[in-house]
Structure 1
Amino acid sequence: MKVIDMVHDYPQGSSRFDRGLCRVRTFVTSVHTVVLLTDLDEKNDGMSVTNAVEHIIKSLHELGIIIGSAIYIDHTERKDPLLDNFEIVTVGSRQGTQWRTASRSEVISLIGGASEELDERSLSNSRIVFRADQLRFSRDPFVDSPWQPHPSIIKRRLEIADTMISKSEIETLISGRASEREIQRLLKQDLSIFGEVYAKPDDEYLCFSEFPLGDGLVDFVVFTGRSRMDVILIEVKGADFNLLNADHYKAFNHKINQAASQIQGRIGKIYREMEPFRLHVHSIRERVERGEQIHNAFLGPCHKLGVDPQKDINIRTVLIGGRTVDDRAESAKRHDFERNFTPPIRVESWDTWLRRLERS
């Protein structure tokens, strides 16, 4: 017979041990008392039952919830009740705390045959969830709130939002089959759009336009990444042509091939002299982070990138241009192009690139 079914707020056992929550069910049979200690997963705001079991058992006795000897079972629920994990725990033996794996059928026998108790998921029991939330919110009223960034990051996000161009503005331009110059003119007004598409982590990026490289300029460049910095070189062409030709060869439009050859020549020089380029881009990064305006620099919400200037950099190249007609055929063509072109260049039509935008 079940005599207790509660959420237990187990206490702090040491300075390194946070308080936690578990479900405690006590079953009394003619033979023994069985205590089922069920971990509450995301509702448990402290140590797991397995790691805190000695503290839990001690606190149950000190509070008088359990009196006398009992069999304790460490219970971890899975999505499928038949896959639950059960460990019978013995505390205070000469060998210290001992665990023995128990089967579901053995546990059902120990609790008096109440199989429905093991079928119910604790987080589907509204009473248990309500009580767990009461305890969690009493400790921290913002426990489920997202991490609060530094005020300077929030301020910069608001500044970026105030000058952000909308997705619909870009879509209108692309739908009108705008020229390369028209598209560049709009995108230069808000370089955060490239951070939105390519930055990882999301808020950590520096963007540039008309970035000097070799004997020419790269349309747009993004610095981002953690530890090793990603340098993303972006060339844009107009939306006034189809990405693939209409003939049976289905080759890339000549504008794409011309641009790819031009990019290949420029980035080939980088790979031949990688160390000077690595030092150069990190020098530019540091100057922009100090507040200098270089190559129309645009700083993302985080004022400094979490990259190591001593480590190698990753170079990625993107070419955006043309319109999609047959997405499946173009996808295969783009994949083959990127895999076989050296150094690799990612080709996007304006239609596929627009899918990456999250802004409204």
Structure 2
Amino acid sequence: MKITDIVHNYPDGSRLTRGLCRVRSFVNGSEVVILLTDLGNKNDGQSVTNAVEQIIKSLQVLGVVIGPATYLEHYEREDPRGDTFDIVTVNSPGGTQWETISRDQACQLMGCPLNELDERSWESGRIVAEADRLRFSRHRFFDSPYRGSNAVIKRRLEIEGGMISKAEVEELISAGAGERDLQALLKRDLSIFAETYAQPDDEYICFSEFPLADGYVDFVVLTGRSRMDVILIEVKGADFNLLNSDHYKEFNHKIHQAAGQLRSRLGHIYRELSTFRDHVHSARIRAERGDLIHNAFVGPHDGLEVDSQKDINIRTVLIGGRTVDDRAESAKRHDYEHHFTPPVRVESWDTWIRRLQRS
């Protein structure tokens, strides 16, 4: 017979500063059985397994359990038939021990019908409400996302205030704009390239017209952690189809020409890789200090967590042309990227704009 069903708050004020579990007490003849159910994402501390000794001690100190009792550790699954049960014996020879038993054995031990354990704790309004009350009494904004520093929030707002809209880009693409018109729009808001390629999202530095070898690359994104990702982006117009309309279905000559230029510059980079690494890290450091070198645009986090002594990851992207047959172009892009060294990723404006999250 069940006699209590509560949410137990088990911090001990020292090692444990938070933690919640569901505690149900059963009397079966002369036996007292205590069911300790982990509350999953409603548990704001250690799992029942890791805190079981402190949980049992706190139940005894508070008088929730008086005298000898058998303790069952319980984890719920979506299907009640998949629940796990372990008899926990504390301070036994060799320390705390767990003995796995079946659902049927657990119910027999507690002296309750099988349907007693059918309701999931997360479906019990009373249990959820009490767990939330205890969690929020410790931290009023427990479930709120990390807000970041004031400086990060300020920079995010500045970036959002200067964003060009997805509709503006789509309008130029639909009108079949040339390379210069697209570049002019995109240079107004370099965060658009961070949105499509930066990882982590808020950690990036973007440049335009970045010097490279005997020329420059249209746009560059620096991002990543530890090893810096250097993403080189070349853009062409939206005034041609990505693939030719003949039966060969080759890339338009403008794509071949731009890819050839990129590969030539990549060859120069890889022949002098340490020099290029030093060059991009130097540009990063200057941008982080506030220098507007190459139209530097720094993300919300004003410094990248990268190591200038580690190798860099170099990626190249070529954006140009319009999509007519997405399936055929996808196969062509895949082959192109995997049959050239170093590889160049090719995107049409139609596929690229799908990456944008902004409205």
TM-score (norm 2): 0.98
In structure 2, the gaps of 5 or more residues are none
1:108 partner letter: C
In structure 2, C-alpha distance between the alignment counterparts of 1:306 and 1:105, rounded to whole Å:
53
Report what 1:8 is aligned to.
8
Q: Does 1:350 align with 2:349?
A: yes
Report what 1:252 is aligned to.
251
Partner deviation per Cα, 1:4-62 (whole Å, 9 max, x = no partner): 1110011316x332221000011111141111000001111111111111111111111
In structure 2, C-alpha distance between the alignment counterparts of 1:299 and 1:11, rounded to whole Å:
43
In structure 2, C-alpha distance between the alignment counterparts of 1:238 and 1:85, rounded to whole Å:
60
In structure 1, C-alpha distance between the alignment counterparts of 2:227 and 2:50, rounded to whole Å:
36
Partner deviation per Cα, 1:243-295 (whole Å, 9 max, x = no partner): 11111111111111111011110111101110111111111111111111111
The 4+ residue runs of structure 1 with deviation greater than 3 A are none
Report what 2:126 is aligned to.
127
SS at match of 2:97: strand
SS at match of 1:96: coil
1:191 partner letter: L
Q: Does 1:180 align with 2:179?
A: yes
Report what 1:286 is aligned to.
285
Identical counterparts, % of pairs: 68
Deviation at 1:230, TM superposition (A): 0.4
1:187 partner letter: L
Deviation at 1:104, TM superposition (A): 1.2
Report what 1:272 is aligned to.
271
In structure 1, C-alpha distance between the alignment counterparts of 2:295 and 2:223, rounded to whole Å:
16
Listed as ranges, the matches of 1:203-282 within 5 Å are 203-282=202-281
The alignment covers a number of residue pairs equal to 359
1:203 partner letter: D
In structure 1, C-alpha distance between the alignment counterparts of 2:78 and 2:348, rounded to whole Å:
42
Deviation at 1:116, TM superposition (A): 1.4
Partner deviation per Cα, 1:146-185 (whole Å, 9 max, x = no partner): 1120111111111111111000000000000100011001
In structure 1, C-alpha distance between the alignment counterparts of 2:124 and 2:351, rounded to whole Å:
45
Partner deviation per Cα, 1:169-208 (whole Å, 9 max, x = no partner): 0000000010001100100111110111111000111000
1:289 partner letter: E
Asked if the contact 2:147/2:153 (under 8 Å) is kept, the reply is no
Deviation at 1:117, TM superposition (A): 2.4
Report what 2:48 is aligned to.
49
Listed as ranges, the matches of 1:1-360 within 5 Å are 1-12=1-12, 15-360=14-359
Deviation at 1:92, TM superposition (A): 2.6
TM-score (norm 1): 0.98
In structure 1, the gaps of 5 or more residues are none
Asked if the contact 1:18/1:47 (under 8 Å) is kept, the reply is no
Asked if the contact 1:210/1:220 (under 8 Å) is kept, the reply is yes
In structure 1, C-alpha distance between the alignment counterparts of 2:141 and 2:11, rounded to whole Å:
21
In structure 2, C-alpha distance between the alignment counterparts of 1:260 and 1:11, rounded to whole Å:
61
SS at match of 1:218: strand
In structure 2, C-alpha distance between the alignment counterparts of 1:12 and 1:347, rounded to whole Å:
58
In structure 2, C-alpha distance between the alignment counterparts of 1:270 and 1:317, rounded to whole Å:
12
In structure 2, C-alpha distance between the alignment counterparts of 1:96 and 1:171, rounded to whole Å:
66
Q: CA RMSD in A?
A: 1.0
